[in-house]
Amino acid sequence: MLVGKFKAAVVAAAALASVAVVATPAQASYCSHGGGVYICEYGVTTYPLPNGTKQEFVVGSDRAVWTRWSDSDGVWSRWISMGGKTPGKIYVKDYETSDPWTFRVYYFDEKAEYWARNRDHDGNWSAWRRYDLPLNG
């Protein structure tokens, strides 16, 4: 009887482990872009800046948000981690300001909570902050 319970426990543990393996980030497809590795399913989010340059955002293999930008000659910076921990796509949106250089990068975590960092006119970034409602303040 004890052997039967042991076998049942092993089968249940194996089934549970196989479900966990399917859901792990390691199962994601990885792509390379500009010398960096990112999760293909989430793509590259590009934000055009007022002077014709661009800033790109990806979700890295570590699930952090990564960014790089081009200069006026079209030369790209290296990738820099912005931190965070996202289970999905990155979004970029202007927020309530008349300054075209300010914008917000954000994602929704596994609890559907809204996390964002704001860029100021000079290219400085706020810390990650959880917002109660998308795109407010």
Q: Is the pLDDT of residue 3 over 50?
A: no
Q: Find the mean pLDDT for residues 54-71.
A: 96
pLDDT tens per residue across span 69-94: 999 999 999 999 999 999 999 999 98
Amino acid at site 13: A
Find the range with the poorest average confidence among 7-16, 31-40, 50-59, 67-76.
7-16
Q: Is the pLDDT of residue 49 over 80?
A: yes
Q: Is the pLDDT of residue 132 over 50?
A: yes
* Total Cβ atoms within 10 A of residue 5: 9
**What length does the chain have?**
137
Q: Find the mean pLDDT for residues 9-22.
A: 33
DSSP string, 52-98: S-EEEEEEBTTS-EEEEEB-TTSPBPPPEEEE---SS--EEE--S-S
> In this predicted structure, what is the pLDDT of residue 26?
52
Find the range with the poorest average confidence among 27-36, 42-51, 56-65, 115-124.
27-36
pTM of the model: 0.75
Q: Tokens for 71?
A: 């200069």
